[in-house]
Amino acid sequence: MQRRNFLKLGAATGLLSLVEPVKAANVMATSSSGKISGPIVLSTWDHGLAANKAAWEVLKNGGSALDAVEKGVRVTESDVENRSVGIGGRPDRDGHVTLDACIMDDRSRCGSVACLEGIAHPISVARAVMEKTQHVMLVGDGARKFALDYGFDTIKTPIPEVKKDYEKWKKENKDVFKKPEINHENHDTIGMIAMDANGKLSGACTTSGWAYKMHGRVGDSPIIGAGLFVDQEVGAATSTGLGEAIIRVAGSHTVVELMRHGYSPLEACKEACMRIIRKHDDLTGLQCGFIALDKDGNFGAYSIYAGFNFALRTLEEEKLVDANFDRNW
Ligand code: ASP
């Protein structure tokens, strides 16, 4: 049931000369884990490939991980073909496209927006919350007002194709409230974590969330510690999948704390998934996936079910990697 094909782009040539004097990357990728020296960016799903490219433009020029992750996920937010992030996102069951995003840097500064409507780049609004206010999180009308006050670009959502799908869905599902089918076209946040040439870590996460959710529902993605967590002393992690389950175990924070206590990124992502498995009686359709990077450049990923992958960009390569997983569908 894997929705996304394994796509190997192979080693990108000529990258090494662009990033002198940064040390050449040492990539020893074994399935979904490895160790890198030099800048690195990882992001969830295959839309991560395009996002990583934009992030890499920043990293290869010696830019900060914070700028890289913001620039990177903005690509996905602008993608009209993407049905789970930004402008092309699906609405909630009342027809509103509500966007969630958060960002966190190496100094443990963080910013977040949730249930934000009609703004093109929630991630940049989240960054502005972090940098321009004393708060961490703004939601709903307050978040929108803040974004408008700061002159952020507006968008009209749902876009026509998405609206058409929604009208059809509404007719067929008026009285049903089904579990989402993650891995099946309607659900895949972008979470991105990066380390720059100075070894600084940052992360960003942005989504339109669970398609046809209840109005006002917020998942893990904008919650610091659930959808994203960065601690420069240890590493960074981000998640995708059923937000309700990820929040229950404070997923990304759990991954970082496990790394603090000696777990490798892969082991930490696996234990977070196993914790979710242990805490849910019904695992039907309950997909969750984590990617993690420690401060030494080790990375790893794990998901509950097969089908989760992540995009990796280093000095030496640019590729999509299948995450390790616990079970097949
Ligand atoms: N985690 C997101 C949410 O629950 C959705 C996803 O990753 O697909 O809102």
How far apart are alpha carbons 31 and 312 in whole angstroms? 12
Q: Is 219 in the pocket of ligand 1 (CB under 6 A)?
A: yes
- pTM given for the model: 0.89
Q: Is 221 in the pocket of ligand 1 (CB under 6 A)?
A: yes
Output the CA 310–ligand 1 centroid distance in Å: 15
Q: Is 222 in the pocket of ligand 1 (CB under 6 A)?
A: no
Residue 31: what pLDDT? 63
241-245-247 Cα angle (round to 5)? 100
pLDDT, tens digit, 9 for 90 and up, residues 31-64: 688 887 789 999 999 999 999 999 999 999 999 9
pLDDT, tens digit, 9 for 90 and up, residues 200-257: 999 999 999 999 999 999 999 999 999 999 999 999 999 999 999 999 999 999 999 9
pLDDT, tens digit, 9 for 90 and up, residues 172-209: 886 666 655 544 444 579 999 999 999 999 999 999 99
Work out the burial of residue 106: count CB atoms within 10 Å of its CB; fewer than 13 is exposed, 13-18 middle, 19 or more buried.
buried
Whole-number mean pLDDT of the chain? 88
Does the annotation mark 189 as catalytic?
yes
Q: What dotted CATH number matches 3-82+102-107+182-322? A: 3.60.20.30
Of residues 44, 76, 98, 189, which has the active-site annotation? 189
Proportion of the chain above pLDDT 90, given as a percent:
82
Backbone angles phi, psi at 207, to 5 degrees: -160, 160
Q: How confident is the model at residue 10 (pLDDT cuts 50, 70, 90)?
A: very low
Q: How confident is the model at residue 14 (pLDDT cuts 50, 70, 90)?
A: very low
Work out the burial of residue 198: count CB atoms within 10 Å of its CB; fewer than 13 is exposed, 13-18 middle, 19 or more buried.
exposed
pLDDT, tens digit, 9 for 90 and up, residues 120-137: 999 999 999 999 999 999
How far apart are alpha carbons 19 and 24 in whole angstroms? 9
Q: Is the pLDDT of residue 170 over 70?
A: yes
Output the CA 152–ligand 1 centroid distance in Å: 24
Q: Point out the least confidently predicted range of 30-34, 146-150, 325-329.
A: 30-34
Residue 11: what pLDDT? 27
